[in-house]
Amino acid sequence: KAFAVDAGRFKLPFGREELTGETNLDFAYRSLAARVLSPGRDAGIMAHGRLLNRRAEYQVGYFARDGENSRTSQTVGGRDAVAARLVVSPFRGVADRLIAPLEIGVSVENSHLDNRLGVRGRTVLGDGIFFERLYMNGLRRRVGFDAGWESGPFSLSSEYVSVSEERRGMGFDGANLPGVDARAWSVAGTWALTGERKHGRLEPTHDLLRSGYGAIELAVRTEALGFDMASAPDTLAGYPTASTLLANADHATTVGVNWYMNHYVKLEADVVLESIADPARSPSPSTGGRFISTVFFLQFHF
């Protein structure tokens, strides 16, 4: 359809991986760009449709708040969120099967923070904090770019998300303070070692319950999430600025193996290597901010 309207509680139209369903994910945990910086679900109304012989797909909507990913028991996040997303398939329908599956997307989202806590820097598994939240007041703006490609047993995807949050009227005498900026990127690829065609999830050619071995897929992702703090208006000579004290980042690489036993059951095994730029604000300061996590995830699909 060229035009349709949905109302209810669903994901804001922002981010490639955040909008991917759980059963189609290649890793046990979503990327930092998706889980930390993208909005997630909320109540709202959205118009969407496909144009130009399905070469372009658009989504635009208004939401009461700006998603559950930045909301906790300590903050309700932003209000009055307006989000839009456009995905184009520039080579859809061409004879060359190598480039035909390419998709390119862009997303934007604006909301307003009323003296609320901002985005917090978390590690891949979400159990470590490397950048604490600050109180924000003013505009929160998200911008994202992404691309995806699937051909035969292979897939590639990449994403970049930036978030800027204002601190208007929060300084002495009501002056504006420098805002806080965060950005994340990820690049990922998969290879179905057993030869199945990649289209979201794999469908095993040889079902484990029918004298087969299922489908086996190798997945690799590298990513980073960084926070910058704007410099204070005045600093003393010889002392570090506020940005030197407060900036921090997490760089992570995930190597995983996915075993699709059959259409209904998938086992994911991931090894995550992370490195925090400031070890003192990492879950593992004694190892220089570097640590390894292992994840096993059993998923049922009906």
Closest by CA to 111, choosing from 180, 160, 41, 62, is 62
- Lookup: tokens for 9: 């509680």
Percent of the chain with pLDDT over 90: 82
Output b/e per residue, 216-226; b: 16+ Cβ within 10 A. bbebebbbbbb
- Lookup: tokens for 181: 């900026």
d(CA 180, CA 247): 10
Lowest mean pLDDT among 124-133, 179-188, 233-242, 275-284: 233-242
Mean pLDDT score across all residues of the chain: 93
d(CA 88, CA 77): 30
Q: 183, 59 in Cβ contact below 8 A?
A: no
Q: What is the DSSP letter of 210?
A: G
pTM of the model: 0.92
Closest by CA to 47, choosing from 74, 13, 15, is 13
Quickly tell me which residue has 């009055």 as its tokens: 80
Question: Mean pLDDT across the stretch 82-98?
Answer: 94
In this structure, whether the domain defined by 4-300 belongs to CATH 2.40.160.10 is answered with yes
Examine the pLDDT at 241 and tell me if it is beyond 70. no
User: Given this model, what pLDDT does residue 230 score?
Assistant: 53
Examine the pLDDT at 243 and tell me if it is beyond 80. no
Question: Mean pLDDT across the stretch 53-77?
Answer: 94
Please report, for residues 9, 22, 257, the alpha-carbon distance to residue 192 in angstroms, rounded to integers and kept in the order given. Answer: 35, 19, 10
Residue 132 amino acid letter: E
Report residue 148's pLDDT band, with 50, 70 and 90 as the boundaries: very high
Examine the pLDDT at 242 and tell me if it is beyond 80. no
Q: For 196-240, what is each residue's pLDDT tens digit?
A: 999 999 999 999 888 899 999 999 999 999 999 754 444 444 444
Q: For 171-205, what is each residue's pLDDT tens digit?
A: 878 889 889 999 999 999 999 999 999 999 999 99
Angle at 51 between CA 151 and CA 189, to 5 degrees: 25
Question: Mean pLDDT across the stretch 140-165?
Answer: 98
- Lookup: tokens for 102: 């390419």
Instruction: DSSP for 139-156, please give it.
Output: EEEEEEEEEEEEETTEEE
- Lookup: tokens for 276: 């925090």
Angle at 285 between CA 284 and CA 286, to 5 degrees: 95
